[in-house]
Every structure is written in C-alpha cells, then in structure tokens.
Structure 1
Amino acid sequence: MHTLMVADDHPLFREAIAAVIEAGLPDSRLLEAESLNDALRHAGACAELDLVLLDLGLPDASGLEGLRALRAAHPWLPVAILSADQERRTILDALDLGAVGYIPKSTPRRDLITALAQLLEGQVYLPSDIMRRPAVPCTSPAGVETPSPGPRFTELTDKQLEVLIGLSRGASNKVIARELDIAETTVKTHVSAILRKLGVSGRVQAILAAGEADLAALLAERQGSSR
C-alpha cells in the first residue's frame, strides 16, 4: 500500500487527483494539504509517506520555495512537482533542487496514472514533450545565437548507450542493472562515465540530451555493423 500526498490550495483539483488515484491506484492512501505548512506537518507526522505531489502556487510559498522547504526538512521524501507551469527553466530548476519528477496539470488521466506508478517505483518522470524539446541555443558575447554543441554520443560504449537509454526512460539504477544483468555499482560507474563524456553536470542534463537523439538507432547501427 502506498501513501501519497497532494499539496494544492484548490479543493476541486485535490478532489480530482483523489479520484484519479482511487481509480488507478486503488490500494493507495492520499493525504491532502492546502498549504506548505500543511504539507510539512503531514510529512513530519507520516513516516510511511511515499510521494508528495506539490503545486508551485501554494498561498504560503512562491515558486520553488515549497520544494526547497520540503527538501530541507525531509530530504528522504520524494517530491514531484504537479503544476500548470511548463517552462523548461522551471522544470530544470525543480529537478536540480531534487524533485523526482515534473507533471503538468494538463496531463491526461491515463498518463498521470503511468507517471505516478513510475514515481512510486523509484524512477524519474518527465513529460515526453519536454524530453523532445530542443536545447536552448547559446549566445555569443556579441549577442549572436549559435547552436549548442551536440553531445558526443559516439564516444559512449555500447553498454553506456544502453544505460543512457534506460536513464532516458526514467529507470532507476536498480531497474537498469536488472535489465542489463549487471551490478548496480557497475551502472553507477557507467553513469559517471556518461556524464564525463557528454560534458554534462548531472543525470537530468544527460536525460534531456538523450531525448534529442536517436540512441536506439545508433546502438542498432553499431551492433549491426559488428556482425
């Protein structure tokens, strides 16, 4: 049985989320909070809480302040943002602050259930359209936009490509290790190598880069040419 909490100041939206969870995750329990203070109180009193769905527009927290407060008070607690804001910068900032996912409020019911199930399995969730969105171009000192340099996917080994494909699906290290029949520590080693070779600072940046490339086609081409 999973325990979730939705923190949103709109009662009708909380009721809608409750209906979705009751229908799609019938063995789950849902707590409701209408403010950040409510969310912090529930989190402190409920040790079995598995996931928080946090709105960015709470009356006592502006923007990502609520996420910062929850992460500071309960760093063990998985928090996913559930918001109408779909700006790429907001999503990246939320993930950099430790959010385990970002779910737009416009997400269809079926996709919302899929997202919640994925998050409850310990995976990361990002909306597919965000994953496919092109990177923001760089700006030169003269103010002229230039294309961002493409990640060096060709420098990755076949196994590193397989790990990156798993990451891009939001799979955890444990899931990737099971799928590839390797140790979880080996997955961590591959992830470190991937970040270094792609010149990115974290898993989120690697996932976003992977969303802009056809890694499966590259891997298939390699494997085909090696036969």
Structure 2
Amino acid sequence: MRILVVDDYALVREGLRHALQALGDNVEVVEACDAEEALRLIAEIPALDLVLLDIGLPGMDGFLALDEMRRGHSSVPIVVLSASAEQRDISAALNMGAMGYIPKMVPREVMLRALRLVLAGGVYIPPQALGMPGFSGAPTGGAAAAPKSLDELGLTGRQRQVLGLIAQGKPNKAIANELQISEPTVKAHVTEILRALKASSRAQAMVTARRFGLR
C-alpha cells in the first residue's frame, strides 16, 4: 500500500508515517511538504492508494491542490487531514471531491478507522459536521439546486436501499453483500442516485441522505 502524506510540518509527517503502519503490512509512506511537491509526486508515482492532504499549506492553497489532484488523478482517494474543524472547510473539501475529512484533534484510532473506510471505498465525514446547521452537502459553483425531499428524487425501492447504506458510509462491496446484488449493479445504482441528487461526489450524496433522515 502506497500513501502520500502532504503536510508542511516534518514532525506531523513523521508521526503519520509511524501511525499509518497500522493499516497493514508493507505500507509505504511518501512525503511532501507543500502542494507543488505533492502534485509532482502524484504525477510521478504509479499506483498511489491514498493521499492525506493538509489544507493549511504554504504556497499553493490546499484547496487548490485538492482541486488539481481531483482533476488530474480522479481515481486516487484523497482525505483531508486538517487542524481546522470549521464547517466551511469540511463542506468545501467534500464538495471538491475529498473522500473524507479528518480533524487533527481526533484520536489515532478514529483516524485509522476513517482511513480503512475510505480505502474500502467508503466516505468519512466527522460526526460533528453532520450536525452542523446548514451543512447540506449541496453542490457548489452554481450547480442546480439539490432536491428538498426524498420523494422528489424518483428513486426505485432498491435505489433507496442503496442510498440508505451510502448514508452509513458503506462502500460498494459492503452494500452489494448486504443487498445480495453484484458490485456492478451497486455502481449503476450509485450513478443514478448521484444524478438524482445532483451530487458530484459520494460524500455529497451521503450528507444529503442523512439530511433526509436516512441513517
């Protein structure tokens, strides 16, 4: 497993390098101290499994780096690991395609559980973000308004089941096992759900589903 850690503090990178070994055997951690170095490495290193990105970087803004990474390397899951637990930062990161947002103040085991979830194909959103007023996961940048109720979506019964499991943060494989359907079928349902929600990411779909009362 190969993980790129992007943080401007050497002490933080060193701590993460040791902590990430708990994710499995043969974990290789590659380090970058700023966004420019991270973008170079993500372009040069084949088969990255995960990027851990701090948004408070010197030079290029971390959000700009996130946007560049998503545009050029959409298959690599990116998790923001930040000292900020502000609603606007969490919402912005998820709306830009991050597969998770982990405040740096969480315990080590919480971080590891979150990363395991993302590596399995799920989405991690900190619990405090889901309870924040106004945190809807709605698309940004002038996109069409998100549906105001579950009934507006026009989903089939099976798609509602899939959406409910997305709301729990479950990856496609776990959803397929629980519903006893194939992963390609789950992927097809997820595509239709994102279209119906007018969501650009699974994270947005998860937050919207929870706003509709799904858990």
TM-score w.r.t. length of structure 1:
0.75
1:129 equivalenced with 2:128 (yes/no): yes
Question: How far is the alpha carbon of 1:212 from its aligned partner?
Answer: 4.0
Say which SS state the counterpart of residue 110 (structure 1) adopts: helix
Change (3 A) 1:196 1:68: closer
Q: Percent identical across equivalent pairs?
A: 39
Q: Is the CA contact 1:81–1:103 (under 8 Å) kept in the aligned structure 2?
A: yes
Q: Is the CA contact 1:132–1:211 (under 8 Å) kept in the aligned structure 2?
A: no
CA radius of gyration, larger in:
1
Say which SS state the counterpart of residue 169 (structure 2) adopts: coil
Counterpart residue number, 1:70 = 69
Aligned mates of 1:12, 1:53 — CA distance in 2 = 15
Query: What amino acid is the match of 1:6?
Result: V
Give the RMSD, CA atoms, in angstroms.
2.8
Q: Is the CA contact 2:167–2:214 (under 8 Å) kept in the aligned structure 1?
A: no
Say which SS state the counterpart of residue 64 (structure 1) adopts: helix
Query: What amino acid is the match of 1:201?
Result: A
Say which SS state the counterpart of residue 103 (structure 1) adopts: strand
- Give per-residue Cα distances to partners, 1:150-182, cap 9 Å, x unaligned: 623697655333212211222233431232111
List gaps (5 residues or longer) in structure 1: 138-148, 217-227
TM-score w.r.t. length of structure 2:
0.79
- Give per-residue Cα distances to partners, 1:49-79, cap 9 Å, x unaligned: 1111011111121240111222234333222
Change (3 A) 1:102 1:157: same
- Match for residue 201 of structure 1 among 188, 199, 202: 199
Aligned mates of 2:53, 2:103 — CA distance in 1 = 11
List gaps (5 residues or longer) in structure 2: 137-146
Change (3 A) 1:214 1:56: same
**What is the correspondence of 1:20-35 to structure 2 with a 5 Å cutoff?**
20-35=19-34
Q: Is the CA contact 1:53–1:82 (under 8 Å) kept in the aligned structure 2?
A: yes
Higher RCO, 1 vs 2 (CA within 8 Å, ≥6 residues apart): 2
Question: How far is the alpha carbon of 1:36 from its aligned partner?
Answer: 1.4
Change (3 A) 1:77 1:196: closer
Counterpart residue number, 1:6 = 5
